[in-house]
Structure 1
Amino acid sequence: MSTSFTLTPAAEKFIGRIVRFSGIPAAGLRLQVSPGGCSGYSAEFSAEAVPQDGEQVFVVSGLKFFVAAESRLLLDGVTIDFTETPTSSGLSFLNPKQQACGCSSAEAALPPGVAKIELGAIGRGRPASLAS
């Protein structure tokens, strides 16, 4: 199965800056996505030098991504965007196949299939949750 995801220009710019300012030569973005949360996704990302065992390398819009099998399944057909409001900013994942959530949390105000990942999820190097 071939995974296909796209980036908006805003996401390209944001992710490009993370990679460029990481200080890691030829860095890529490790993206770990899992099901969860009201919007359907929970994600962590960090700039990394090389992929870990089991991760596949994707080049999307000239940017390298290191993505494990579980995340590849969730990212198929998704558009990744960067959104910024006066009170928050982060990556949003638009999945046209995702159903709307029935809960009343603040994230429920997002369009169906959109998951908001806050800037606090950014790490340099391996996030603690990915440590083995």
Structure 2
Amino acid sequence: MAATFTLTPAAEKFIGRIVRFSGIPAAGFRLLVSPGGCSGYSSEFSAEAAPKDGEQEFVVSGLKFFLPAESRMLLDGVTIDFTETPTSSGLSIINPNQAACGCSSAESAAPPGVAKIEIGSIGRGGRPATLAS
């Protein structure tokens, strides 16, 4: 199954920077998406040297992606954007066919069909991101 998602210019710029500044030659962007969470998606991402077993490599907007089968299915037809507000920033997965969130947390609720992936989700080489002291 081919990856059929769209990247906004802001997402292209953000993902390109993650890959470029990873320090990994010819790195790609691993995006793991699974069902769950308030918006319908739970996800994480990292810059990687090569796809893992079971992942396929795709090029979208000139960027190399490593996606397992479940992620490819869940990303079908979505738009990936990068959003930044005074209180948070990260990737947003916008699914036009997703229903609105039913939780009562209006302050943190995303618009209908939008999943937030916070910057803190960034990892490198499968390790959690760390801050320099």
TM range (shorter): over 0.9
> Given the superposition, is the C-alpha separation of residues 65 and 39 from structure 1 closer, same or farther in structure 2, using an over 3 Å criterion?
same
| 1:97, distance to aligned residue in structure 2 (A) | 1.0
TM-score by length of 2: 0.91
Alignment of 1:20-59 (within 5 A): 20-59=20-59
Shift of 1:91: 0.3
Counterpart position of 1:4: 4
Q: 5+ unaligned residues in a row in structure 2: which ranges?
A: 129-133
* Identity percentage of aligned residues: 81
1:102 aligns with 2:112: no
Question: What number of residue pairs does the alignment pair up?
Answer: 127
Worse-matched range after superposition: 6-15 or 119-128:
119-128
CA RMSD of aligned residues (A): 1.1
Distance 1:118 1:87 in 2: 11
Q: Distance in 1 between matches of 2:116 and 2:37?
A: 10
Q: Contact 1:19/1:27 (CA < 8 Å) preserved in 2? A: yes
Trace 1:82-97 onto structure 2 (pairs within 5 A). 82-97=82-97
Tell me the CA shift for residue 101 of structure 1. Answer: 1.4
Q: CA deviation at 1:83?
A: 0.2
1:38-78 CA-partner distances (Å, limit 9, x unpaired) = 11111100000000011011100100000000111100001
Q: How far, CA to CA, are the matches of 2:71 and 2:113 in structure 1? A: 16
More helix, by proportion:
1
Structure 2 counterpart of 1:52, one-letter code? K
